[in-house]
Structure 1
Amino acid sequence: MIHRIEETTSTNDDARDAKYRHGDIVWAERQTAGRGQRGHKWSSAEGLNLTFSLVLEPRFLPAGEQFLLNEAVALALTDTFAQFGIAARIKWTNDIYAGDKKLVGILIEHSYSGQTLARTIVGIGINVNQTEFDPALPNPVSMAMVAGRTFDRGEVLEAFRRHIGIRYAQLELDERETLQRDYRERMYRLGERHTFRYPDGTPTEASIEGVRPTGELLLRHADGTLREYLFKEIEFVIAGK
């Protein structure tokens, strides 16, 4: 069920309430303290975009395999955009890009029960119809800017709900090879040589070869070595960002 509210601090905070169960979506017009990855704030123009949280209860999924859930969510989003004629790519780990610009931000928060996941809150911000952004934002883009037309936000959300249902079913049926293959094929800059940056600012040239089932990014460096990186161990270098 979709629960629509006018204002909240963060839909991820709201979605923790036990009254929301598996498959519920909390959609807010305004977030006063929306959060993104790496502790960043997520800002969105009122009435133009989608800011919502999806509640999942993947109790069948071992904690060590939680990246498969990330893959299912990212793929459902790219499936959604494809339905509306927009070619989107997954920027490891969770951002969705159109070209070299950010279309979606995702913040996934888990709670655990022993060795498995218990409850997952998937916070999603989709730039839908906004065409003017804060200059301080590095590289935003919206569906409207990419497609040259506006969209019905409710229609977009319903499309996502259908597609996440399909991808989540693949996860439940242990179709991990399908999820991993599709995720790899839709990775942003897959197989292209680009500059990346280490946390200390040191640059390195490498190309993306894929991602481990546990989530590590696989980079082939200029000297031929293949190395794997966890979140925050390597950063993309993108013009204008």
Structure 2
Amino acid sequence: MIYHIQQTTSTNDEARDARYRHGDVVWAEWQSAGRGQRGHSWLCPEGLNVTYSAILEPTFLPATEQFLFTEVAALSVVDTLGEYGIEARIKWTNDIYVGDRKCAGMLIEHDLRGANLARSIAGIGVNINQTEFDPSLPNPTSMALASGRTFDRREVLERLVDRLMARYAQLEAGERETLQRDYHERMYRLGTCHPFRLADGSIVRATVEGVRPTGELQLRHDDGTLHEYLFRQVEFLIEGRDTPAGTPAR
């Protein structure tokens, strides 16, 4: 069931209420303290986009395989955009890009019971009808900008939820290889060489080769060596946004 509320601190906070059960979705018009990855805030003008949290209870999934849940959530957004004729890619781990611009992001939080997941909340924000953005944002876009039209937000949200549940059904049915293959094929910058910033601040040029089932990004450096990185150990550099001088993207 979709619960449409006017305002909350963040939909992930609201979704923690025990009254929400498996399959429920909390959709808020305004978040006073929306959260994104890396501790960033998530700002969403009222009436233009959708910010929602889906509550799921994948009690069958070991905590060591939780990246599969990330794949489910990311693929559900890419699937939906594709239904509207918008080609999107997944920028590891779960930002959704159209070209070199971010159209959607998410924050996934898990509660554990023993060695398995107990309750998972996928907080997702999708830019739908917004066409003007705060200039401090590095590279935003929206479905409207990508397609040249506006959308019924409720319809888009219902499709997003439908696709999420379809991908979740694959996870529940044990179709791990399908999810991993589909995520891999839709990775942003797959097979192309670009600059990345490492945790120590150094810049390397590398090619995205894939992602391990446990979530590590696989990059082949220019010297031919293959390296694996966890979240926060590596950062994509986007041409025109933060590519350092003297390091052209290609």
Q: Which interval holds the TM-score relative to the shorter structure?
A: over 0.9
Cα deviation for residue 200 of structure 1 reads 2.4
Unaligned runs of 5+ in 2: 243-250
Deviations along 1:62-113, one digit per CA (max 9) or x if unpaired, are: 0000000100111111000001110000000010000000000100000000
The alignment's TM-score, normalised by the length of structure 2, stands at: 0.95
Q: Distance in 1 between matches of 2:108 and 2:37?
A: 9
RMSD over equivalenced CA pairs, Å: 0.6
Query: How big is the shift at 1:182?
Result: 0.4
Amino acid at match of 1:13: D
TM superposition outliers: structure 1 runs of 4+ over 3 Å: none
Matches within 5 A, 1:37-76: 37-76=37-76
Give the Cα–Cα distance (whole angstroms) in 1 for the partners of residues 11 and 161 of structure 2: 16
Q: Which residue of 2 aligns with 1:173?
A: 173
Give the length in aligned residue pairs. Answer: 241
Q: Is residue 2:227 matched to residue 1:217? A: no
2-structure distance, mates of 1:118, 1:196: 35
Aligned to 2:34: 34
Question: Which residue of the partner structure matches residue 111 of structure 1?
Answer: 111
Question: Which amino acid in structure 2 is aligned with residue 177 of structure 1?
Answer: E
Q: Distance in 2 between matches of 1:164 and 1:46?
A: 24
Matched with 1:85 is: 85
Partner secondary structure for residue 117 of structure 2: strand
Match of 1:142, as an amino acid?
S
Identity among equivalent positions (%) equals 66
- Deviation digits for residues 130-176 of structure 1, max 9, x if unmatched? 00000111110000000000000001011111111111011001101
Q: Determine the C-alpha separation between the residues in 2 that align with 1:118 and 1:124.
A: 19
Q: Name the CA distance, whole Å, in 1 between partners of 2:237 and 2:221.
A: 15
Distance 2:163 2:14 in 1: 23
Match of 2:196, SS state, is strand
